[in-house]
Amino acid sequence: MPGTSGADGSGARGPAIRVRDAELADLDAIMALETATFPTDAWSRDMMAAELANPHTAYLVIESDAELVAYAGLSAPAGAGQGDIQTIAVDATHRRLGIGTLLMRELLAAARSRGAAEVFLEVRADNPGAEELYRRHGFARIAVRPRYYQPDDVDAIVMRWAATG
């Protein structure tokens, strides 16, 4: 699945990008994007390194002109029947180009290949654009976790996707 294409996956429009599996060598670039995207609640370097090394996770990065511009991660142990989208981050200069859509397609394909019949995620209540992206990919609201995102006191909207067919 990972490869080179336009941002929508067709090769027909958007920036020329390369999707590939994340490697530990990407950690510095991932952390730079992590802290820029999530300034108040970024994951620690050690947590991210552990995620990249975990056999139960699938992390992807997107490069544009050899620059890492997005990453996303899925936790889905084979045989568990479910997964969790851990994180998605797209550089501010590359948003609204279809990169989030491409990452969602790739993560859900990875979840299916690991046997996940359902996938969960949390999204900040103050991020309606991300919530809409998830809704377009079949996720539905199932709960709210009050004050989940700290120190900002922002609720988390819990969403669920279920495989069909």
Query: How do residues 26-72 score in pLDDT, each as one tens digit?
Result: 999 999 999 999 999 899 999 999 999 999 999 999 999 889 999 99
Higher pLDDT, 65 or 158: 158
Q: Reduced to 3 states, what is the DSSP secondary structure of residue 2?
A: coil
| H or E segment and range at residue 131 | helix 128-136
Q: Reduced to 3 states, what is the DSSP secondary structure of residue 142?
A: strand
* Mean pLDDT, range 141-145, rounded to an integer: 97
DSSP 8-state code for residue 11: S
The per-residue pLDDT of the chain, averaged, comes to 90
What pLDDT is recorded for position 13? 53
pLDDT over 70 (residue 6): no
Judge whether 135 and 107 are in contact, CB under 8 Å. no
Which structural domains are found in the chain, ordered by start? 4-116 (3.40.630.30)
Residues 111-129: pLDDT tens digits? 999 999 999 999 999 999 8
Q: Strand 118-124 vs strand 17-21: parallel, antiparallel, or unpaired? A: unpaired
Judge whether 149 and 124 are in contact, CB under 8 Å. yes
Ramachandran angles phi, psi of 160, nearest 5°: -135, 140
Structure tokens of 153?
């006191």
User: If you search the block for the tokens 């050690």, which residue do you land on?
Assistant: 46
